[in-house]
Structure 1
């Protein structure tokens, strides 16, 4: 999260900044920070479930610009949450995202919904970076400590908008992502221009003498001390109240805090002893902050657990896959904390939670990854999600069946066995010829489409299935041979959809939940099917447009990029359609017309206003029906 207000504060010291040419250097990148920055710049219509193709192009263009300018990027990504340290913050963010998702249902446009991103942006980012051959490392927990240590070791800049790094002792400084001029209309040589922040120049500007730039020792560094007094993420605000009273300053008065330190204390050690003492909660916050800024550069061979174990019993292949981004962080979160937060999606409040559609896949995922208890016993995983037919958050305990092999047994299974297990988990007994699906990248998306179309309790309408399959074929045709170009950044995007269908968005949310859980299970089973980039198959904006065309009986195949492929896949779906189960029903994606009995009751409703009586017409009495 960073230190609130620090970025704006350091901008007031121009001598701490310098114009910098980013070329012929290694660059340590805060991956999660860059992901959310690029996602916020992409023109998502957040109501549609994700325009992944455009986000994929933006990520590819960004890293292509770095490589073209002789920059060697190293992307560090966060791992699982570190126990209960930030549980309250995570819960607050989860509830905020749920509120934003609710506000998008029925909205006229969804481009300006800050902080709410589609559920598969992380997978799209990873696949885009991997396709370029960029060095990617997934850390145990937060990547900030490793990023600082490696930038210091490699004597290179660190790229991030996180204000925590402004107080880190980095010889080559910090480059904010927002300062990069990576999109240009000219050819000014192989250079990316940016602004670089140098902490030692900042200390000189505010009058603090620091020996830390040549003595890499936290004993001589004002950085950790200031981070605690400025209230970083590791410090409780209530603990600082008596300190502020002692110094005679207010909360987040950065300039006043620095002036008091400069005038009252000769060295860092004098300030630490007088303010924090040698024990207590504040002293513990200072120690944790020093470990943050002066942590180890190495990653362990095991993943530490927040449940009190010395290490999780994960085999080496899991750790290796985790480090390069090929293992499921979602599964690792469930294994280490027995707690997961299911990402909110845009769906109607009156409908069941979309994640119910993929519960059968997640049960298997938990069964394989969650470590066994000694002596047996039941195991549960807490799922934080939206309440069914409501808008409140709820915690649902999911029982783990415990009848599947553990992670250590996965390598002993052949690829065909693991593939059969994956498909059987998603759709049950599969009597279809999987070799019929070509290219092979279509296998996993088609299996999830089959599950969504025929096995969900609320089955989607035929036009919704057509629209999603058209998204598969069109996106794949557009992206399989796409290369970064300047024209991509110049084009204008349409602002909003005229005929946005929230019923379709709800149905698509169920498919995205099935697809996301299937991607996680594919990674846990050691990739029996090729890794799938969601950008190659799904564009929510396109699905909404195609659905409107199909519903109006227009020639929806007129703009299909691969008409033959669409017809082949559609024939596959129709040919293998199972018999409808008793109790299942096709979901109407448009509001239903009230029956004659309901209309009669509505007409009887009256309201008294003063001495007048007026019949009120209930909203939504008439609407178009789906085919």
Structure 2
């Protein structure tokens, strides 16, 4: 929700706060709020696609500070959109603003508060690894957070202005005053210095009845109530007390409310001030104000049983949504193991896409991953010629609503949403790999945790527009495989470099593909292991790698000098190159006669030809080395008859080792030439 200008107003009256030494307590945390606070207030890079490793470290330090003070954190996250669309106008306006901010950040390199696409996933993964209790609500979390804090009689940690209105027994700890990085000692006990807020202090300072605070919020205007749009706004500043230094809108409203005891009489008096309204419009204003006040009335907590016993809360029983969300999804949704985007698709037939820092002249980065989302829509909605999902994406600098039809074919036709969790693992894996266009056999040579990111990279390398060059691919694979020994050495080199438009767009497309693939993987019950995002992609790093290569500098000084890292790098490149070659090069009549099976690969001669033809498509100075190294990696990965090849190779290698020790050393380090 959010009361416009309230936090700034309260900050101008610091006497409302009290000093607190916070320790030995439960703490209910507004998770969606904390994500933004930690990322933006830390100075982490916003414009290169995310500093996820640094963000992970920051989250770890935050939780460590709480535990050092014997504080038990409970994190509650926002979920899907409200199915009543009460905030539709506000949400749409914020999306339009983000598009403009993302473009400005791409043009001038400034910080516009654009959260990287996968930051929330890093947050959730890190908390899960640290065994911090996390719950995701089915819709907006504010009421659930306040209800839980009220029943546990513990404070809320947030910077959302609505928590200045909720009647919370233990009050609010504003994040901006929560000095978690400055833990102090009192005897043997550690504590976090912070400020505390309680509505009693607010009401005492402004001499207002506490039951009138929801009325104050509604008349001041929040995300649900916009009186100026109804030609019914009032100039509250005129009611500010004489001699007031600020004479602000909120101060005037509070002074006006002092004479009332109950909300209803204040609302009736406010309607009297709105002159010239028709009966119909006055009724609309009255309904809007009542709706805005209802948001501060707290129902019993539905999350307490989840945190105590692991029981998922019941889904809302409104008739219009009954039966649309399968029972088996409730628990993984609440555990944040399943994206709540599926709720928007099931309940509203809508998907709101992200707007990373990208130049407005470039097409939306989400277009590349649309076929992946279409598979997810098909699983959620099934077949039907009239079905479509409204995707909220950008077209240039404008917000656009695109009807997108589900894809429902192949193995997916055999699966039903109500029993998707019980489908055969092999079927679910087929659907996921089919969406990405790769085979299980092609990934078998890789560690399990890299199956999904490499499959996504194959998909991206084939579909991204404009087609990524080999420098972009190498930088990405180096980051994925963690082959760099000194990440900071690369990042600090030209660390303030403004992102190149095409480079940023290419990596935005990759992140969008990865995000949608992870969501599809979650819906299918994790047929592939979910990768650790904090170790998979580092925006400033991959941008610097591209810049380093394009400026002619060698990467050897930054790479781990061990054979396993080079081997893994080669392996991933060869898998991706083979995929690209097979897609780009027409199948010959010879290969048509001898189709490959999961244990058969292209003959080495055919693979070499395919790779050579693929690299001709690119003007790259390392073409020859790439081909040689990829073929060697292909040999190691059983793309040919491994036994016969190794027999010949080992015999030759032993002879060469005896005759030429230097050659043996070079062979041991084979693969570094391509770096």
State whether residues 183 and 192 of structure 2, in contact with CA within 8 Å, keep that contact through their aligned partners in structure 1. no
State whether residues 305 and 336 of structure 1, in contact with CA within 8 Å, keep that contact through their aligned partners in structure 2. no
What RMSD, in angstroms, separates the aligned Cα atoms of the two structures? 3.3
What's 1:145 paired with? 143
What's 2:212 paired with? 222
Q: For residues 44-83 of structure 1, what are the structure 2 equivalents within 5 Å?
A: 44-83=44-83
Please list the CA deviations of residues 491-518 of structure 1 after superposition, one character each: whole Å capped at 9, or x if unmatched. x978843474322212112211111110
- What secondary structure is seen at the aligned counterpart in 2 of 1:295? coil
The whole-number CA distance in structure 2 between the counterparts of 1:117 and 1:31 is 14
What's 1:420 paired with? 430
CA pair 245-192 structure 1, distance change in 2 beyond 3 A: closer
Q: Which of 404, 407, 420 is 1:401 aligned to?
A: 407
- What secondary structure is seen at the aligned counterpart in 2 of 1:75? strand
- Unaligned runs of 5+ residues in structure 1 are 211-220, 480-487, 590-626
The whole-number CA distance in structure 2 between the counterparts of 1:529 and 1:477 is 28
The whole-number CA distance in structure 1 between the counterparts of 2:62 and 2:315 is 31
- What secondary structure is seen at the aligned counterpart in 1 of 2:520? helix
Q: How much has 1:587 moved relative to structure 2? A: 7.8
State whether residues 21 and 192 of structure 1, in contact with CA within 8 Å, keep that contact through their aligned partners in structure 2. yes
The whole-number CA distance in structure 2 between the counterparts of 1:249 and 1:581 is 72
- What secondary structure is seen at the aligned counterpart in 2 of 1:535? helix
What's 1:508 paired with? 507
Q: For residues 303-322 of structure 1, what are the structure 2 equivalents within 5 Å?
A: 303-304=315-316, 309-322=320-333
- What secondary structure is seen at the aligned counterpart in 1 of 2:525? coil
Q: For residues 342-353 of structure 1, what are the structure 2 equivalents within 5 Å?
A: 342-353=353-364
CA pair 435-289 structure 1, distance change in 2 beyond 3 A: same
The alignment status of 1:461 with 2:459, answered yes or no, reads: no
Q: How much has 1:133 moved relative to structure 2? A: 0.9
CA pair 499-30 structure 1, distance change in 2 beyond 3 A: closer
What's 2:342 paired with? 331
What's 1:385 paired with? 393
The alignment status of 1:442 with 2:473, answered yes or no, reads: no
- What secondary structure is seen at the aligned counterpart in 2 of 1:257? helix
The whole-number CA distance in structure 2 between the counterparts of 1:332 and 1:469 is 34
What's 1:105 paired with? 106
- Unaligned runs of 5+ residues in structure 2 are 241-246, 273-278, 304-311, 587-613, 621-674
What's 1:5 paired with? 5
CA pair 301-586 structure 1, distance change in 2 beyond 3 A: farther
Q: How much has 1:350 moved relative to structure 2? A: 4.6
What's 1:288 paired with? 291
State whether residues 237 and 251 of structure 2, in contact with CA within 8 Å, keep that contact through their aligned partners in structure 1. no
The whole-number CA distance in structure 2 between the counterparts of 1:455 and 1:271 is 60
Please list the CA deviations of residues 434-489 of structure 1 after superposition, one character each: whole Å capped at 9, or x if unmatched. 33211x2211111111222245464311121110111113389899xxxxxxxx9x
CA pair 562-72 structure 1, distance change in 2 beyond 3 A: farther
What's 1:621 paired with? none
- What secondary structure is seen at the aligned counterpart in 1 of 2:295? helix
The whole-number CA distance in structure 2 between the counterparts of 1:256 and 1:4 is 14
Q: Which deviates the most, 25-34 or 230-239?
A: 230-239
The structure where helix makes up a greater share of residues is 2
- What secondary structure is seen at the aligned counterpart in 2 of 1:334? helix
Q: For residues 477-516 of structure 1, what are the structure 2 equivalents within 5 Å?
A: 496-498=495-497, 500-516=499-515
State whether residues 325 and 346 of structure 2, in contact with CA within 8 Å, keep that contact through their aligned partners in structure 1. no
Q: How much has 1:574 moved relative to structure 2? A: 1.7
Q: Which has the higher contact order (CA 8 A, sep 6+)?
A: 1
CA pair 288-566 structure 1, distance change in 2 beyond 3 A: farther
Please list the CA deviations of residues 406-434 of structure 1 after superposition, one character each: whole Å capped at 9, or x if unmatched. 32232222333322321221124x16343
The whole-number CA distance in structure 2 between the counterparts of 1:530 and 1:330 is 20
CA pair 67-323 structure 1, distance change in 2 beyond 3 A: same
State whether residues 476 and 536 of structure 1, in contact with CA within 8 Å, keep that contact through their aligned partners in structure 2. no
CA pair 113-303 structure 1, distance change in 2 beyond 3 A: farther
The whole-number CA distance in structure 2 between the counterparts of 1:453 and 1:126 is 28
The whole-number CA distance in structure 2 between the counterparts of 1:312 and 1:588 is 56
Q: How much has 1:157 moved relative to structure 2? A: 0.4
The whole-number CA distance in structure 1 between the counterparts of 2:220 and 2:386 is 45
Please list the CA deviations of residues 251-309 of structure 1 after superposition, one character each: whole Å capped at 9, or x if unmatched. 962222222222x3344454345446999334433433443222321268554499x72
Select the structure of larger CA radius of gyration.
2
